[in-house]
Amino acid sequence: MTGVALGLTVLVGTAFGLVGAIGVAVVVLAVVLTRPQPGQLAAPALAVLVAVGVGAWRGGPVPPVSSPPWVDGATAVRGQVATAPVGDGVAQRFFLRVEEVEDPRGWSAADGCLSVLAPPLPEASLGDRVWLVGAARPATDAPIGVRTYLRSRRCGASLVARMLAVDARGSGWRRAAAGARRVLSRDLRRFAPGDAGALLSGLVTGDDHSLSSERQRGFLATGTTHITAVSGSNIALVVGLLVGLGSVGGVRRRFAWQAVTVAGVWAYAALVGLEPPVVRAGLVATAAVFAGRLGRRPDPITLVVLAGAVMGVAGSDMLWSLSFRLSLVASLAIAAVMPTVPPEGRFGWLRVGVVVTVAAQMATLPAVLLVSPNTSLVSVPANLLIAPLVSVAFPTAALAAVVGLAWPPLGASLAVPAAICAQVIFLVVDTLAVRADDLGVSLYVPRAVLIGLSAVAAAAVTAMSEDGRQWACRAARATGTAPPATRLAAAAALLGAAAAVSVELARR
């Protein structure tokens, strides 16, 4: 619990700055002063205060992202490509660090970030210096979902370019990794033409931009877009494959193979762009692999919280990335409920899938509603049905892509099972997407109500977790009050009722 407490207080300080630090200090002081022997808590209290102080020093509330002053008059821009471009053959998308802008008075120095949609040729790469012709528009003019995404990337404007020219090519290992990612993505799309190849590319590299608009809408309607967002599940499969190979060779516990496993994790993380969820998962995997050498049993919840705290201290902007928040919350929920549902019995795998999927959906719902008010009742069954297919398609497609670099015919053969899984995934998504409109729910949820929904989700996941139930049992025995399950259910019901009333009042 010490690691969890320290990690959470770092995150509180990073997210809320001085206000969060003062709040934690007040709570710590109240706990210490109400103890019969306050001195026993002096060391833990000091550690918590130091942790929240470090977080407050490094972070604070997200600063507003304003549109650049030049956005309305610019007709052309020059700058450096800041993210690996992704494309579908019709256009390519990337973020640009602006260095110069052109307006009717000529070129002038400028700064800022642009989300760019450019022609497919010439192909830009990470680190290239490019020249773009087109009209920019402020991020405030975009839909709320796009606006939230741009803000999480610290980007205040977007641009649809009519013309693209590469002034100078970039260099460096990140550019090389982005090039390898593009090659793997192209090979997978060649091995499995159409949407199947686009989905396999998304599963392995995160680049799913070649999916047809109909399929993209289907994944969005069924709440399954996350399967092509490279995150903890991909890293877990990479670790599982490498650990399995080490077990076959009898070298799994040797330091050299553990180092190879960690190197493989970070090589894959670099390949897919070192996005915040992947970095967090890489930190968790690294700590889990080496924990045994320090005489510690890896605790998933502690590792997830500490990895999030490390990232918050390293760069507080990551905390405001929607993908980081969703992956962190989902990982915590899954880590909390997994020990309570061992896969025993004939249908143990189904029980595990249901509990894990429901926990992740409940935990991430408030953050999703903050961006989009639409949710669908088909999300849970859709995720439950495609999860086994994804766990087969991802490693098979990854193996096909790697082998295909040396021997394309063999790579194409290995991609066949993955493509079959992709087609079955499409069958599930297309079928349920038809019902998504009928079973969809659209709510206007004020921010204040989201706090209540978050509390409900936290109470529900705690009630599902073994640690939460054990803690509640100890509290019930100490106070002689109602059974823990009853108390947790009552708390969740009250919070849910309050949230429902608030939503209804807000509607009126």
User: By the 8 A CB rule, do 421 and 389 touch?
Assistant: yes
Kindly tell me if the per-residue pLDDT of 315 is higher than 80: no
pLDDT confidence tier of residue 450, bands split at 50, 70 and 90: low
78 CA to centre of own chain: 31
Which 3 state secondary structure label does DSSP give 132? Answer: strand
Q: CA–CA distance from 108 to each of 74, 119, 359 (Å)?
A: 10, 25, 52
Q: What percent of the chain has pLDDT over 70?
A: 75
pLDDT confidence tier of residue 460, bands split at 50, 70 and 90: confident
- Of 67-76, 139-148, 451-460, 485-494, which range is least confident? 485-494
Most confident of 51-55, 263-267, 366-370, 389-393: 263-267
Mean pLDDT of 402-412: 90
pLDDT at residue 430, rounded to an integer: 87
pLDDT confidence tier of residue 133, bands split at 50, 70 and 90: very high
pLDDT confidence tier of residue 505, bands split at 50, 70 and 90: very low
Q: What percent of the chain has pLDDT over 90?
A: 12
421/465 Cα distance (integer angstroms): 32
Structural tokens at position 495: 């919070």
pLDDT at residue 137, rounded to an integer: 86
Mean pLDDT of 240-247: 81
pLDDT at residue 446, rounded to an integer: 63
Q: Give the residues across from 78 on adjacent strands.
A: 100, 131
pLDDT confidence tier of residue 131, bands split at 50, 70 and 90: very high
Packing angle of the helix pair 173-191, 379-406 (nearest 10 deg): 100
User: By the 8 A CB rule, do 59 and 21 touch?
Assistant: no
pLDDT at residue 233, rounded to an integer: 74
- Of 145-154, 207-216, 493-502, which range is least confident? 493-502
- pLDDT tens-place string over residues 77-92: 999 999 888 877 788 9
Which 3 state secondary structure label does DSSP give 347? Answer: coil
342/42 Cα distance (integer angstroms): 39
Mean pLDDT of 314-320: 66
362/332 Cα distance (integer angstroms): 12
Most confident of 28-32, 346-350, 448-452: 28-32
Kindly tell me if the per-residue pLDDT of 153 is higher than 80: no
Coarse DSSP helix, strand, coil percentages of the chain, rounded to the nearest 5 percent: 65, 10, 20
Helices (H), 223-321: 232-249, 255-271, 276-291, 300-314
pLDDT confidence tier of residue 479, bands split at 50, 70 and 90: low
pLDDT at residue 316, rounded to an integer: 57
Average pLDDT, the chain: 77
- Report the greatest alpha carbon distance in the chain: 78
3 or 49: which leads in pLDDT? 49
pLDDT at residue 422, rounded to an integer: 93
Kindly tell me if the per-residue pLDDT of 349 is higher than 70: no
pLDDT confidence tier of residue 493, bands split at 50, 70 and 90: very low
Which 3 state secondary structure label does DSSP give 201? Answer: helix
399/245 Cα distance (integer angstroms): 14
pLDDT at residue 372, rounded to an integer: 59
298 CA to centre of own chain: 22
User: By the 8 A CB rule, do 202 and 220 touch?
Assistant: no
- pLDDT tens-place string over residues 192-228: 988 999 999 998 988 888 888 888 888 888 878 878 8
97/114 Cα distance (integer angstroms): 7
- Concatenating the DSSP letter of every residue in 101-129 gives EEETTEEEE---EEEEEE-SSSPP-TT-E
pLDDT at residue 97, rounded to an integer: 92
pLDDT at residue 326, rounded to an integer: 75
Closest of 268, 120, 262 to residue 184, by C-alpha: 268
421/427 Cα distance (integer angstroms): 10
Most confident of 164-168, 241-245, 461-465: 164-168
Kindly tell me if the per-residue pLDDT of 383 is higher than 90: no
User: By the 8 A CB rule, do 469 and 485 touch?
Assistant: yes
147/166 Cα distance (integer angstroms): 28
Task: Classify residue 447 by burial, with Cβ atoms within 10 Å: 0-12, 13-18, 19+.
Answer: exposed
Kindly tell me if the per-residue pLDDT of 250 is higher than 50: yes
Closest of 418, 425, 428 to residue 394, by C-alpha: 418
202/224 Cα distance (integer angstroms): 12
Helices (H), 407-483: 408-436, 447-464, 466-479
Dihedral Cα 75, 81, 82, 84, nearest 10 deg:
130
487 or 280: which leads in pLDDT? 280
Kindly tell me if the per-residue pLDDT of 503 is higher than 70: no
Query: Could you tell me the pTM of the whole model?
Result: 0.77
